[in-house]
């Protein structure tokens, strides 16, 4: 086994906290990872990892060794990626993370086109609304909706997503259409109980962001229930546009207060900072740009 593979095993053990988790992340047999660590420790002449039945923790020497070699190993990975990009066709497994509701409706057509164009590529799709740790998850790339706080990630902005107020034609026929957010106090609104600020909808009023308190007789912790309730004329709803576009296209709901929408929420494709995107990531990004028309959402 080459030295770089021994170093990769050591880094994975420290980051994952156990030999078993490191083997899973690297896609190697546990015995191979254990042998890699033993060979590395024999080479440097000091114990790098304290092993227990449950955890594997770096020794003091191991912590120092980890800090010194991590950037060097990443540089070697970058060199490998640059060489791999000379290949005309991407291959291997693309490990992709994305939000639960967004991926099936909007991302799956892109994945289908990607796999059809590059038959040597496999895709592992992990769906989660949490902001997962990209470095520790083993993912190659994630799609994130929301403002970014990660300093260790780089990526490509795919667009921004609108947040809208909507209602059924039957509701508007009975109660009329609000023309200003402050008029929502006179309307029934279906609110989500699980929100950080339940019953507070954001708008842009006089050029400034402002939360407007709303309420109604129906509350629920499920966005799907809100959509069903609004469709039945039980009140107005507030949602990302992309989640209800199919209802708009079908004529089941209509938008109001479009002139007062809050600032759109950004959406990005992200990968680890300092890494040159591999061929499989780069080609997927190209397809995202071609087929994901987020300016319409």
- 191-225 pLDDT, tens digit per residue, is 999 877 889 999 999 999 999 999 999 999 999 99
Which of 18, 50, 84 terminates a domain? The answer is 84
| Residue 259 DSSP one-character state | G
- Structural domain count of the chain: 3
User: What is the C-alpha separation between 283 and 279, in angstroms, rounded?
Assistant: 6
Positive or negative torsion for Cα 56, 57, 59, 62 = positive
Q: Which of 3-17, 97-111, 112-126, 135-149 has the lowest mean pLDDT?
A: 135-149
Give residue 295's pLDDT: 55
Same domain, residue pair 20 and 154: no
On whether the pTM is more than 0.75, the answer is no
Compute the average pLDDT of residues 124-141. 81
The CATH number of the domain holding residue 279 is: 3.40.190.10
Q: State the greatest distance between any 2 C-alpha atoms of the chain, in Å, as a whole number.
A: 81
Same domain, residue pair 189 and 275: no
Is residue 47 over pLDDT 80? yes
Same domain, residue pair 146 and 291: yes
Residue with more model confidence, 82 or 242: 242
Which of 84, 111, 138 terminates a domain? The answer is 84
Same domain, residue pair 197 and 239: yes
Give residue 128's pLDDT: 85
Same domain, residue pair 152 and 181: no
Q: Which of 7-11, 35-39, 67-71, 182-186 has the highest mean pLDDT?
A: 182-186
Same domain, residue pair 109 and 24: no
Q: Could you list the residue range(s) of the whole structural domain that residue 20 is in?
A: 3-84
Q: What is the mean pLDDT of the chain?
A: 87
Which of 60, 84, 108 terminates a domain? The answer is 84
In this structure, are residues 285 and 142 in contact, taking their beta carbons and an 8 Å threshold?
Answer: no
| Strand bridging mode 153-161 / 163-167 | unpaired
Is residue 1 over pLDDT 50? no
């Amino acid at each position: 086994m080459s030295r770089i593979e021994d170093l990769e095993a050591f880094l994975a053990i420290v980051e994952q906290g156990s030999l078993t988790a490191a083997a899973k992340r690297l896609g190697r047999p546990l015995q191979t990872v254990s042998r890699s660590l033993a060979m590395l420790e024999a080479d440097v002449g000091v114990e790098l990892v304290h092993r227990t039945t449950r955890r594997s923790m770096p020794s003091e020497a191991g912590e120092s060794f980890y800090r010194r070699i991590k950037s060097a190993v990443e540089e070697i990975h970058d060199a490998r990626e640059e060489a791999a990009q000379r290949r005309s066709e991407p291959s291997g497994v693309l490990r992709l993370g994305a939000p639960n509701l967004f991926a099936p409706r909007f991302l799956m057509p892109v994945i289908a086109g990607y796999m059809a164009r590059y038959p040597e590529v496999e895709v592992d799709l992990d769906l989660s609304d949490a902001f997962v740790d990209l470095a520790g998850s083993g993912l190659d790339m994630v799609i994130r909706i929301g403002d970014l706080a990660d300093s260790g990630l780089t990526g490509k902005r795919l667009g921004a997503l609108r947040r809208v107020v909507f209602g059924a034609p039957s509701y508007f026929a009975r109660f009329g259409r609000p023309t200003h957010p402050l008029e929502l106090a006179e309307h029934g609104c279906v609110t989500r109980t699980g929100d950080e600020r339940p019953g507070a909808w954001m708008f842009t009023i006089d050029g400034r962001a402002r939360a407007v308190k709303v309420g109604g007789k129906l509350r629920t912790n499920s966005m799907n229930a809100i959509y069903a309730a609004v469709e039945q004329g039980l009140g107005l709803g507030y949602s990302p546009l992309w989640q209800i576009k199919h209802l708009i296209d079908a004529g089941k709901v209509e938008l109001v207060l479009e002139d007062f929408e809050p600032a759109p929420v950004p959406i990005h494709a992200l990968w680890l900072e300092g890494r040159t995107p591999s061929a499989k990531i780069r080609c997927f990004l190209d397809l995202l740009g071609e087929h994901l028309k987020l300016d319409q959402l």
